[in-house]
Structure 1
Amino acid sequence: MKRYRQFEPVLISGFKILEWTHPEHNHNHYEFIFIREGTGRHIVNGHSFPYKAGSIFLLGPDDQHYFEIEQLTHFVYLKFTDAYLCRNSSGSTSAIQQLEYLIKSRETHQMGFQLVGEDNAIITLIFDTLLLLRKDQIVNQELIWFQLFTVVHVLQRNMPELRSNSFKSRDLQAMFCYIHKNIYDPNRLRI
């Protein structure tokens, strides 16, 4: 198994290709892979998933993957190491915890995300911004850091278990509001 090693704390790249030339591989870093355009299949840990424009994947060091490209695909990569997270974590505990939650979620690694509506537009703009910031990563380090955690926040709020919990939370809040409003009318609180 080929293993790619990254020594820089963060790397941003974008490229368009018709044929995937890398063997199945893993890495010593994390990768957000955004599909700007194109279609095909992403094979992660032996499971095949379709991708299209707007798909986004998060891979960790132990994930093995490669792509089968059907149409010309524009990939945008944001690669970062543990050292990057540790070096920049001061004052970002909540953001680091959100990223750790994404990293530990198996469905994140397997299927990736297919965002719609405003969230898709936001992610597209963020990755376009990252491509602009890559020209001078040292000067733009803080901006890149903030873009990373904006991506994390948007993806986390689109995780299936968190979306369903937000509905449960609203239902619970409505129930508590009803109980509070009718606390002195026992007939309205019976099942």
Structure 2
Amino acid sequence: MKRYVQFEPFIIEDFETDHWDHPKHRHNHFEVILIMHGSGKHIVDEHEMDYTGGDLFLLRPEDSHEFNVDQTTRFIYFKFTQLYVSNNNFQVPENWNREIDLLLRKSQVSHGSLIHSAEDIAMTRKLMEMISMEWQRSAKRYKETIFQLFSVILTLIKRNQSQPYEKFEGDDTSRIESILYYIECNIHDPDALSAAKIADEFYLSPNYIGSFFKRNMEVTLSDYISEYRYKLIEQRLRYSQDSISEIAMDFGFFDASHLNKFFKKHFGDSPSDYRIDVEQKD
């Protein structure tokens, strides 16, 4: 399968077409794609979905995709590397790397549009238009302006992906969804993810939370949390330039050796060996 390679930190493309010329492909970078207008099909991996004006998609390097255009479509592409979002000289929001982790993780569970609120769709259109204009003008400090606009889009994506969890839920389905969101929000804080703490948050017995979670998710609570942390750490190792010590600190490990033990237990290799292996394959 064809893989498009990009060496620049970020590239903006704004174009209109009534025919998609690219075969199904992958990239070595991430892509945020806004549909300004038009309609058709978007195929991501084995998932096929309709697209229409206002839809916003995020693709990771390992995702394969293509479009089938039914009605003339205007696309605005924001293509960026992990280095662009994790290592730059611009002022970034607090916990920026964690926000990126959650955004990339969310793309694994849903290939649909990332923005659902009509008001936020309108804002996203304006923001992407401004990004495209800044890119074309290349005026003074345009890179910083584009980065700050992108950080706003990230915030809009975040608030459209999940609703704040609530302790009081009416049925098991709603309660388990709230627990999953709680885990997502606290994945960098091990102290908040003990069975006793989660049980207390949702007014469940510490002895019951484990069986309740496994009955609904078909996996134990501890295994789910470990797998989630492992996936995020793997993404950080693969796509960022953060040191092993920085990653360990951000995920609540005492030091790099504790992260090494955790990662090796799940993957078989140390974080350093995994990163070297990824670089050699790329």
- TM-score of the two chains, using structure 1 as the length reference: 0.80
One-letter code of the match for 2:151?
F
Per mean C-alpha deviation after superposition, the further-off stretch among 25-34 and 85-94 is: 85-94
8 Å contact from structure 2 (residues 24, 65) kept in 1: yes
Q: Aligned-pair distance for 1:86?
A: 2.9
Higher helix fraction: Structure 1 or Structure 2? 2
Distance in structure 2 (CA, Å) of the matches to 1:29 and 1:137: 25
Give the distance between the partners of 1:138 and 1:79, measured in 2 at CA. Answer: 21
- 1:1-191 equivalences in 2 (<5 Å): 1-88=1-88, 92=92, 93-105=94-106, 106-108=108-110, 110-135=111-136, 136=138, 139-159=141-161, 162-163=162-163, 165=165, 168=166
Shift of 1:114: 4.4
Q: Is the 8 A contact 1:15 1:75 kept in 2?
A: yes
CA distance in 2, matches of 1:134, 1:47: 32
User: How far apart are residue 88 of structure 1 and its match?
Assistant: 1.7
* Count of residues paired in the alignment: 166
Q: 1:36 to 1:90 in 2, by over 3 A?
A: closer
For 1:99 and 1:89, locate their aligned partners in 2 and report how far apart those are by CA, in whole Å: 17
Deviations 1:27-83 (Å, cap 9, x if unpaired)?
000000000000011000111011100000000100000001110000000110022
Aligned-partner residue type, residue 107 of structure 1:
V
Q: Residue 200 of structure 2 corresponds to which residue in structure 1? A: none
Could you tell me which runs of 5 or more consecutive residues in structure 1 were left unpaired when the two chains were aligned. Answer: 173-191
List alignment gaps of at least 5 residues for structure 2: 170-282
The code of the aligned residue for 1:48 comes to E
- Distance, in Å, in 1 between the alignment partners of 2:29 and 2:151 is 16
In the other structure, the counterpart of 2:192 is none
- Over the matched positions of the two proteins, sequence identity in percent amounts to 31
Runs of 4+ aligned residues of structure 1 deviating over 2 Å after TM superposition are 89-93, 112-117
- Hey, what's the Cα distance between the residues in 2 that align with 1:137 and 1:26? 32
SS at match of 1:74: strand
Q: In 2 relative to 1, CA 27–150 (structure 1 residues): closer, same or farther, beyond 3 Å?
A: same
Q: Kindly indicate whether the alpha-carbon contact (under 8 Å) linking 1:24 and 1:66 is maintained by their aligned counterparts in 2.
A: yes
Q: Classify 1:13/1:90 alpha carbon distance in 2 versus 1 (closer, same or farther; 3 Å).
A: closer
1:131, CA displacement in angstroms?
0.9
Q: Could you say if the C-alpha distance between residues 90 and 124 of structure 1 is closer, same or farther in structure 2, counting changes exceeding 3 Å?
A: closer
1:90 CA drift (Å): 6.4
Contact 2:36 2:76 in 1 (8 A): yes
Deviations 1:82-110 (A, max 9, x none): 221232276535233212211112234x1
Measure the CA separation in 2 of the matches of 1:98 and 1:19. 35
The answer to whether the 8 A contact 2:115-2:156 is kept is no
Quickly say closer, same or farther: Cα 1:85–1:54, change in 2 above 3 A: same
Structure showing greater relative contact order (alpha-carbon pairs closer than 8 Å, 6 or more residues apart): 1
